[in-house]
A and B are shown apart, each in its own frame.
Chain A
Amino acid sequence: MPRVRVRYFAILREHTGCAAEALDTAAATAGELYRELDGRYRFPRLASLKVAINDEFRDWNSAIADGDDVVFMPPVAGG
């Protein structure tokens, strides 16, 4: 199984109680990884959510590979 690093920011960081974790996942895509983690954490329902892999915006069907750094981004609020 691929081993990935997942990082959390803002409301997701507070919800999970951690800024980052390493985990082995059976998920093949970013979307599957999110659903797997949602099963564990019961993430808050958000109006929108984006995903980045290795510091680039990606779509939810993007494949997850060993060593990837994954970030799920809640709705932004800069400014």
Chain B
Amino acid sequence: MPMAGFEFSRSPLVAAHLAQTLADDSCGALVTFEGWVRNHNEGRCVERLEYEGYEALGLAEGERIVAEAMERFGLLHARCVHRLGVLGLGEVAVWVGVSAAHRDEAFAACRYIIDEVKRRVPIWKKEYYADGDSGWVNCESCGAS
């Protein structure tokens, strides 16, 4: 049975445990991506992030993206988990893992999933800065005008 899916999580992600769920004797490649909470963005010091999701539509769109990758790259397993809520520096905000017979399709599929998730899944990120200010990424610069 292929493991394929998209999930939201309100608790910390354990990358090693997630990768184990994609194990398969017929796979010669596992490629994973971890998106980490970084301490800076666009020249500002970031102290923590808050993720908010439109969960019903986000799950449906995330599942569509994983299914597209399975089909397009001929994967055996693919999984993506995105955190919601408040995250501290260094925490894993998003995890993508794919396993396939060979590495080429695994690399390409992992890249496809993270790029499409960032572009299409209704998730919003609020940055809290060291100076006490905060803002919604991709929304504030326009909102201020």
List A residues at the B interface (Cβ < 8 Å): 7, 9-11, 13-14, 44-47, 50, 52, 55-57, 71, 73-79
Contacts and interface: CB of A to CB of B under 8 A. Distances in A.
B118 interface: yes
A77 B60 contact: no
A50 B140 CA distance: 17
Interface of B: 35, 51-54, 56-57, 60-61, 82, 93-94, 114, 117-126, 136-140, 142-145
A78 B57 CA distance: 14
Contact of B118 (A46, A56, A73, A79): A79
A46 B119 contact: no
A79 B35 contact: yes
A55 B60 contact: yes
A78 B125 contact: yes
Nearest to A46: B142
A76 to B, nearest CB: 6
A56 B57 CA distance: 6
